[in-house]
Amino acid sequence: MADLHDLSALEQGELVRRCEVSPAELAEHYLDRIDRLDDVGAFVTVAERRISSCARRLAAGPIGDSPLFGVPTAIKDLNLTAGVRTTFGSAAYADFVPEVSDNVTLAIEAAGMISLGKTNTPEFGSPCYTEPDVAPPAVTPWDRTRIAGGSSGGAAAAVAAGLVPVAQGSDGGGSIRIPASCCGLVGLKPTRGRISAAPTYGDPIGLSTAGSIARTVRDAAALLDVLSGRRAGDPYWAPPPTGTFLEACERPIGRLRVARFLTPLIAEVPVAAECARAWEEASALLASLGHEIVDIDPPMPAEAVPCFETGWAVLTALSVTPLPPARRELVRPLTRWLTERGEAVSGPEFGLAIGAMRRFAAAALTALAPYDAVLTPTLATVPPKVGELRDDADPAADFAAQKAFTPWTSAWNVTGMPAVSLPLHWTPDGLPVGVMLAARPAEEELLLGLSAQIEAAAPWADRRPPGW
């Protein structure tokens, strides 16, 4: 018989529904694994008192409607969790305990999932590596000398190492898809407005959204069902799906037109051979499944990059500027550099940058409208060594290295399109390499159906990293 952690999140939920295992037993199983096996920098805080209280509440009530009822998970350390330390990956907030929970936390609790704690993230979620001052670096369990990616690096490390079966992440420039690629997982960034950012609404540009990190497409879809939905104060929202996202994984999708391009968008860099190979193999697989593959020019010009960078710097400044001077001194060099850039942007300049980004997004959406999906690599290289991207002495070089590593992911944050990284390729020495598919806005159902078809043709869920 398989161990509990060998099962998918949905299979564990089914055991709970059949009363073959209790939510408390599942939580204890994973807590034991976290205690023994978290050498990947997955967790910042383990919320044992909160876990016990939640398990008692679930035991006292009926089994809920979600197929993930009773399944353990974890919440990224950027998300507010009432009564549980939330550091935002920063020494400036090392002892901060929120009084309220945000929408993501409340949705997870309402579904009857048990959060085991807070997953590791870089300072304010800005870098694409997870090496904060408040926790050890998050590393991929496929090679513990290499990064798990960021900013949802702790969440991806936790799922990949079997410390939780599924986890929430957030993505403002690739922060779900980057660690999914580094850790050999499914990473789903949904459409802008699909998941409410209440109550803080800290991203006035609309780049960031919560999403799913999982070992299987169906687990990712089930977690999206948990997280999705609008709240009354949301500034934008996606139309509701025709059914559940999990059901979408079972629907026939027909023959699709899939556009593809390989040219990096935000940096002029070579694409590593293994990443290009993964993209070519994915193209061949899609063609073998009956889909039409069309080579296209990159849909977004280099002129869009400065607009995105202006917005990114201002978003960082919004996190730091309210801090008192003594706390502000605790932030990292990269954060300080981005904050200074952001604070130097005038109100009119910021408005002009947002308007330009909207126009670049509109042009890209128009160019891509004839296609059902878009295929690119997820990343330009295999996961780098810990510390290889980070450069505290030269934050500008640090930022440039991040752009060179992730030259495609942020485009779909600008357009608001749903996008997913799928673990379709491994290098000869065992490193995972993701490929990325994006779909038209609000077409997560089609994207999930295509992803499920790909997974059925080239399954990956039985792959296990060292130390599993």
> Which long-range contacts does 391-395 make (Cβ < 8 Å, 24+ apart)?
392/332, 392/333, 392/334, 393/333, 395/333, 395/334, 395/336, 395/337, 395/338
CB 211 within 8 A of CB 172: no
Just list the catalytic residues. 76, 151, 175
CB 383 within 8 A of CB 286: no
The pLDDT value recorded for residue 143 is 98
Q: Cβ of 202: how many Cβ atoms within 10 Å?
A: 13
The first and second tokens of residue 278, run together, are 């993964």
CB-count burial class (<10 Å; 0-12, 13-18, 19+) for 162: buried
Going from the N-terminus, what domains does the chain have, and what CATH number goes with each?
4-457 (3.90.1300.10)
What are the distances in angstroms from CA 99 to CA 74, 80, 82, 85, 102? 19, 8, 5, 10, 10
The pLDDT value recorded for residue 56 is 87
Q: Report the C-alpha gap between 102 and 175 in whole angstroms.
A: 19
Residue type, 197: A
Mean pLDDT by 10 residues, the chain (468 residues): 92 97 96 98 93 88 96 98 97 97 98 97 98 98 98 98 98 98 99 98 96 99 98 95 98 98 97 98 98 98 97 97 96 98 98 98 98 98 98 98 98 98 98 98 98 98 96
pTM over 0.75, yes/no: yes
